[in-house]
Structure 1
Amino acid sequence: MRTYVITGGTDGIGKGLGLHFLSRGDRVIAVASNPAKGRAFMAEAERLGAAGRARFLRADLSTVAGMRSAVAEVEADLDVLDGLVFATQRFQARREETADGLEYTFALSYLSRFVIGHELTGLLDRAAAPVVLNLAGPGGLPGRIHWDDPQLRRGYSGKTAAMQASRCNDLLGVGFPRSHPGTKIRYVLYNPLFVKTGMADPLPQPMRAVTKTLALLLAQRVERAVVPMAALMDDPPAEPVSAFRRGKPLPLTGKDFDPEAADRLHRLTLEILNG
């Protein structure tokens, strides 16, 4: 039996992966903020006969305190962690700040992955073949990091924030083994492309209606989309970090995977956390 922690584990792809692992006999801790969705996840686990192997851990991963509280609870509950999945994200059409004064998308979709991933390294390294699966956007839509304004106080748009978070996560993956030389952990960046989830719900109209219509025609079902992700966690690449677009390997080349930029982002992130 393997043990997995999944942020965003009560909805969409995160939930799909959690139920996939539970159905085959593994243990899952689903980290999310919505108690109603947490109860629904636990009810589905019970229907699978897996209630004793499932846990809903409520945490606000948009705040540093919430991130570290989740880490502390996982560390108190587990001796070893086989896999860590980052699936938490939420589109924000309007700019919002968290309790820490950080732009919401930056905090939730990138910073939580930085904090939780680095702080759970000890538990992961106790596993035989530990894997981090970061559901980000390698090989997807373009975007850039706004080095002079990472909190996007100027010129905010939901798309700009989402694409910046994706580029940050690309560099987070590249930088992870540089921060943990000698680690056994394999870091996998994965772009699932179009999947039928509730991600369109926060979009403004008419974008929401258009996206949902396209999803009906083109998107993969969650149950199908999670299969190659689970396979990568079962048998990860030999390289310390790798990237995939719907199961297709991507070269770690170009500015999106620049090691020097990864080091720069790591320093900037530590400044934000220590500021």
Structure 2
Amino acid sequence: MRTHVITGGTDGMGKGLALKFLARGDRVFALASGQAKGAALLAEAARLGAADRAVFVRADLATVAGMRKALAEVTDQTDVVDGLVFGAQRFASKRIETVDGLEFTFALFYLSRYVLGHGLLPALERADAPVVMNLAGPGGLPGTIYWDDLQLTSGYQGRRAAMQGSRCVDLLGAAFPLRHPDARTRYVLYNPGFVRTGMADPLPPAFKLLTKTLGLVAAQSVDRAIGPIAALIDSPPAEPLSAFMRAKRLPLEGDDFAPDRALRLDSLTARLLDGL
């Protein structure tokens, strides 16, 4: 039996992966903030005969306390993690500041992945073929990292925050093998493309309607999108870091994966967390 930890594991692709793994006999820790969706996942797990293998961890992954709480709950219940899947993400059309004084998208999309990825590394290293699967945006729309204003205190736009988050996550992946050169854990950055999930729900009404309408025509279903993701989790690439746009392998080139930029962001993040 393999053990998987999935952020955003009660909705969208995270839920799809959770149910897929549970159905085949694996154990799943689903991390999310919504009690109702957590209960719904556990009910579906019970119908699959997997009630004893499904664990819902309720945590606000937009707060540092919530990140650390989730990390502690997982490590208290398992010594081994075979796969860590990052799927938690939510679009914020208006700037939201968390209790830590951080911009919401930066905290949820990037910082939670930093804290949990490094924090769960000891448990990952005890697995036979450990992998971090980071569902993000490599190879997608371009974005800028605002080094002098990572919290986007001026000129906030939801798209700008989301694209900065994607580039930060690319650099998080690039920094991982530099931080842990002897680790056996493989790090995969994966862009699933357009998938029919609830990601459009927080958008303004007109954009929400347009996105959902386009989704009916152009987007993949969750079931179809998770197939290649699950395959990569089961058989990780040999390289310490890899990036994919759907099935297409991406070259680890340019600013998005530059080691100096990756280490710069890693250092900034470590100092930020030291103060929280």
Residues in 2 aligned to 1:32 and 1:165: alpha-carbon distance in whole angstroms: 19
- Residue 133 of structure 1: CA displacement? 0.2
Matched, 1:141 2:141: yes
- Residue 205 of structure 1: CA displacement? 2.5
State the partner residue of 1:155: 155
> 1:206-245 alignment to 2 at 5 Å?
206-245=206-245
- Residue 243 of structure 1: CA displacement? 0.2
Amino acid at match of 1:178: L
8 Å CA contact 1:88, 1:109 repeated in 2 = yes
Residues in 2 aligned to 1:47 and 1:164: alpha-carbon distance in whole angstroms: 40
Residues in 2 aligned to 1:36 and 1:102: alpha-carbon distance in whole angstroms: 26
Residues in 2 aligned to 1:196 and 1:46: alpha-carbon distance in whole angstroms: 25
Amino acid at match of 2:116: I
> 1:70-85 alignment to 2 at 5 Å?
70-85=70-85
> 1:90-239 alignment to 2 at 5 Å?
90-239=90-239
State the partner residue of 1:8: 8
Residues in 2 aligned to 1:78 and 1:162: alpha-carbon distance in whole angstroms: 32
Residues in 1 aligned to 2:245 and 2:19: alpha-carbon distance in whole angstroms: 22
Residues in 2 aligned to 1:93 and 1:134: alpha-carbon distance in whole angstroms: 23
Amino acid at match of 2:115: V
The SS at the match of 1:199 is helix
Amino acid at match of 2:149: D
Amino acid at match of 2:261: A
Amino acid at match of 1:116: L
Residues in 1 aligned to 2:21 and 2:225: alpha-carbon distance in whole angstroms: 14
Deviations, residues 186-210 of structure 1 (Å, cap 9, x unaligned): 0000000000100000011211111
Runs of 4+ off more than 3 Å: none
- Residue 75 of structure 1: CA displacement? 0.6
Normalising to structure 1: TM-score of the pair? 0.99
Amino acid at match of 2:214: L
Amino acid at match of 2:238: A
Percent identity for Structure 1 against Structure 2: 66
State the partner residue of 1:65: 65
State the partner residue of 2:264: 264
State the partner residue of 1:86: 86
Residues in 1 aligned to 2:247 and 2:25: alpha-carbon distance in whole angstroms: 24
8 Å CA contact 1:139, 1:250 repeated in 2 = yes
- Residue 237 of structure 1: CA displacement? 0.6
State the partner residue of 1:25: 25
- Residue 235 of structure 1: CA displacement? 0.7
Residues in 2 aligned to 1:231 and 1:265: alpha-carbon distance in whole angstroms: 30
Amino acid at match of 1:36: A
Residues in 2 aligned to 1:271 and 1:166: alpha-carbon distance in whole angstroms: 21
- Residue 162 of structure 1: CA displacement? 0.4
TM-align CA RMSD: 0.6
Deviations, residues 94-130 of structure 1 (Å, cap 9, x unaligned): 0000010000000000000000000110000000110
**Count of aligned pairs between the two proteins:** 275
The SS at the match of 2:272 is helix
Deviations, residues 30-83 of structure 1 (Å, cap 9, x unaligned): 000000000010111111111111010000101111101111111100011101
The SS at the match of 2:55 is strand
8 Å CA contact 1:229, 1:247 repeated in 2 = no
The SS at the match of 1:92 is coil
Residues in 1 aligned to 2:253 and 2:264: alpha-carbon distance in whole angstroms: 17
Amino acid at match of 1:228: P
Residues in 2 aligned to 1:6 and 1:247: alpha-carbon distance in whole angstroms: 21
